[in-house]
Amino acid sequence: MRIFSRQPRAGGAPSGHGRSLHFALVSALLMLVLLAGGVLSYIARSSTQASSTGLTPFTGTISPLIAHSSLRGPADQNQSISLAVGLRPRNADELTRSAQDISNRTSVNYHRYLAPAEIAAVFGPAKATYNALLQYLETSGFTITHEYRHHLLVNFSGTIGQAEQVFHVTINNYTAPDGRVFYANTTDPLVPSSLVGAIQSISGLNTATHLYHPQIARQMLSTLASQHNALTCPGPGPGNPGTPISYMTPNQTATAYNLNGLYSAGDHGEGQTVALFELDTFQMSDLTNYASCFGHAHPAIQTVVTGKGAVPSDSGVLEVELDAQLVLSAAPQLGILRIYEAANDAADYNAEWAQIIADAPPVVSTSWGDCEQNVGQQEASQENTFFAVALCVCPAPIHRAECRRPRSPAFCYRRWWHNSHVKHPGNLQLRNRVE
């Protein structure tokens, strides 16, 4: 629309000046109204697009690390991606109370554990909800890679392009402040409205989360990297953590951690199983050589690989072996040392904890962690659910009836580990039962 006005006549006011000005003002206001209406209409369409298509945002998936990282560009659409969906437990409040009561000596539910097979029926999602999630993922073209009997997590895989299309997100590559390259979603995913309330986490849309061992261990182990294949059994070491070529033999460990009194009382971890949560692999020969040098028994050392990604084999190998050797030295009569390992990303991290809960080993230890500001709320919430369930399940292979006997020998060894199995600063331990 073009608006014309008459040129003013010489020596006087323009003819029809008032009408032209009035017309111009009205036209301008009309254009503003139309423009504002269009903007509001666009916003309304954008905000209702999800609901009109039956999709709702699942919030809390954007990594805090993005704000401190440099954008490199779009991620490769054809790159394979491993993902996991965590489902909210049924009766979440009851799960929290059970986790508290089960270790409370004054509670009527003290030591009243559930068998691993019962977790799905008591705290798992409704069967219809679980099946609906599987159907949604499969019809979207994803491949289900693993399920668990507790039904609290589903692992699946696809490509980045597929994840972007299904979840309506954009995934970019970034460089973190420490130089590590990762990919991450820039917006929260959209999921069916009928499922969003049942979902607790969607992991794998980013690889921003990267867990570490305590720095003290990495500094100490870096000086020993060239010696970890040595076959000669060493004598007592200097025992000065953090100094070059420093180590401790099992006898020194027993003294440092006040284990000799337990040994004198006949507590050596006889025949028990200890699990380690690891995000790196290890060399089996290093552990068998260690057991040959210092072990009074030769426990079965088992490896359980979880998740879909490749397990790292970097400098973290030495830390995994340190974790294992400390267990072997502290429990000289250990029956089984079970080492769980997975790729160091959020999806496989959750997959490893989900597998540990399904297997229900009696004792689990881990020394991996990260700064809280780098961990998203959904990841912390998912981890809390896993830990609460772990506290409520009877450890395999102990029969549930034995779990319900407060003074059975099964609980004696758990108390032993609670008092003695402590590692370097920063260690986070998950114990299924604590007396």
In tens, the pLDDT along 62-81 reads 999 999 999 999 999 999 99
DSSP H or E stretch at residue 86: strand 80-87
In tens, the pLDDT along 299-358 reads 899 999 999 989 999 888 888 998 998 888 888 888 999 999 999 999 999 999 999 999
In terms of CATH architecture, what is 215-431? 3-Layer(aba) Sandwich (3.40)
Report the 10 Å Cβ neighbour count for 222: 12
Cα separation, 41 vs 156, whole angstroms: 38
Q: Which of 72, 42, 288 is nearest to 172 (CA)?
A: 72
Per-residue model confidence (pLDDT) at position 240: 53
**Order of strands across the sheet that contains 181-185:** 70-74, 171-175, 181-185
- pTM here is 0.76
Q: Which of 112, 99, 115 is nearest to 399 (CA)?
A: 115
Angle between helices 316-330 and 284-294 (to 10 degrees): 30
In tens, the pLDDT along 253-284 reads 888 888 888 888 888 888 889 999 999 999 99
Per-residue model confidence (pLDDT) at position 333: 87
Helix (H, G, I), strand (E, B) or coil at 392: helix
Q: Is 75 exposed, middle or buried (0-12, 13-18, 19+ CB in 10 A)?
A: buried
Where in the chain are all domains bearing CATH 3.40.50.200?
215-431
Taking phi first (over 0 means left), then psi (-120 to 50 degrees means alpha), and beta for anything else, what does residue 17 get?
alpha
**Residues 133/195, Cβ–Cβ less than 8 Å:** yes
In tens, the pLDDT along 373-430 reads 777 778 888 988 998 898 888 776 554 444 544 333 333 223 233 333 333 323 333 3
**Residues 325/234, Cβ–Cβ less than 8 Å:** no
